[in-house]
Amino acid sequence: MLAPLPRLIIEPAVRRALEEDLGLAGDITANAVIPADHRSTVVMAARREGAIAGLDAAALAFALIDPEIRMARHVGDGEKVAAGAAIATVTGPSRALLTGERTALNFLGHLSGIATVTRGIVDAVTGTGASIVCTRKTTPGLRALEKYAVKAGGGGNHRFSLADAVLIKDNHIAIAGDIRTAILRAKENAGHMVKIEVEVDTLDQLEQAMDVGVDAVLLDNMTPETLRRAVAIVSGRAVTEASGGITPETAGAVAEAGVDLISIGWLTHSAPVLDIGLDYRNAGD
């Protein structure tokens, strides 16, 4: 079951977005055109098929503008919807609804877009035993929300921050001098609870890493055939993670090579927004 993000994680991002949109004078259009006592009912609906994520952020965007606004959800985060499907019905003061509309839809559309592309690539590797995970290639300030959206799409999360685990990459190795030295230094300085992963570009590097011993290996930009050989070399001694240029078209072959994880940065940095609109239905009660 998908656990919701705590409000204390969501609220700072939503408040910043609202402050950015309101500027110094607030919504001068709604305040000029809409009577102060007018109430409305609007429906948020998907313009195309996709997986939903970000309902809490959308609801909070409205509530922070006016706590009288009520949002009735017709689906939950993680659910797939068809084009035209109603996602939620929102009722309250018309000015506030229009003021919060863009911020609510920005969060809902962006996070649902991430959930949608994640769901697509998770489906592409179903039955292989490989799991799809995201990376730290996230929008500054929105990492927790975007990683939540990946989980809503059926994926998993890699590191949330640099403090979560040791991940020795090519530049670390280059500066340290060689892969063995880098791993030994990590083992000497990391705490006993800290996992160590190392990125390798070749099978020779992989052999060196396995000789020293690590918890996980990131197999970077390898062909499916090379990945199969890498998985055989590791032989269950470490978690195997494939990364680098993986697309929905190639993910199946990568997964069938036997890796445990496939990490994909574009899930969060390049997912297209799921088109979701807000439609006026009638005056509120």
What tens digit of pLDDT does each residue of 128-154 get? 999 999 999 999 999 999 999 999 999
**CA R_g for the chain:** 23
Give tens-digit pLDDT for 47-59.
999 999 999 999 9
pTM: 0.96
- Provide the residue ranges of all domains of the chain, joining segments of one domain with +: 7-121+272-280, 125-270
Determine whether 137 is an active site residue. yes
Active site residue 47: no
Q: What pLDDT, on the 0 to 100 scale, is given for residue 282?
A: 74
Q: Which of 79, 197, 199, 260 is catalytic?
A: 199
The per-residue pLDDT for 283 is 63
The catalytically annotated residue of 70, 80, 102, 228 is: 102
Helices 94-124, 7-22: inter-axial angle, 10-degree rounding: 120
| Averaged pLDDT in 10-residue chunks for the chain of 285 residues | 95 98 98 97 98 98 98 98 98 98 98 98 96 98 98 97 97 97 97 96 97 98 98 98 94 98 97 97 65
DSSP category for residue 84:
T
Q: Percent of the chain at pLDDT above 70?
A: 99
> Burial code of 252-266, b = ≥16 C-beta within 10 A, e = fewer?
bebbbbbbbbbbbbb
Instruction: Confirm or reject CATH 3.40.1280.10 for domain 125-270, answering yes or no.
Output: no
Does residue 218 sit in helix, strand or coil? Answer: strand
- The CATH number that domain 7-121+272-280 falls under is 3.90.1170.20
Residue among 15, 70, 136, 137 flagged as catalytic: 137
- Both tokens of residue 10? 């969501």
Catalytic-residue membership of 199: yes
Report the pLDDT value the prediction gives residue 1, as an integer from 0 to 100: 83
Note the pLDDT of residue 200: 98
DSSP 7-58: HHHHHHHHHHHHHHHHTTT--HHHHHHS-TT-EEEEEEEESS-EE---HHHH
Question: Which one is catalytic: 27, 197, 220, 241?
Answer: 220
Buried b (16+ CB within 10 A) or exposed e, 228-238: eebbebbeeeb
Same fold, 7-121+272-280 and 125-270: no
List 15, 70, 136, 169, catalytic entry: 169
Give the long-range contacts of residues 83-87, CB within 8 A, separation 24 or more. Answer: 83/46, 83/47, 83/48, 83/49, 84/45, 84/46, 84/47, 85/45, 85/46, 86/43, 86/44, 86/45, 87/43, 87/44, 87/45, 87/46, 87/52, 87/55, 87/276
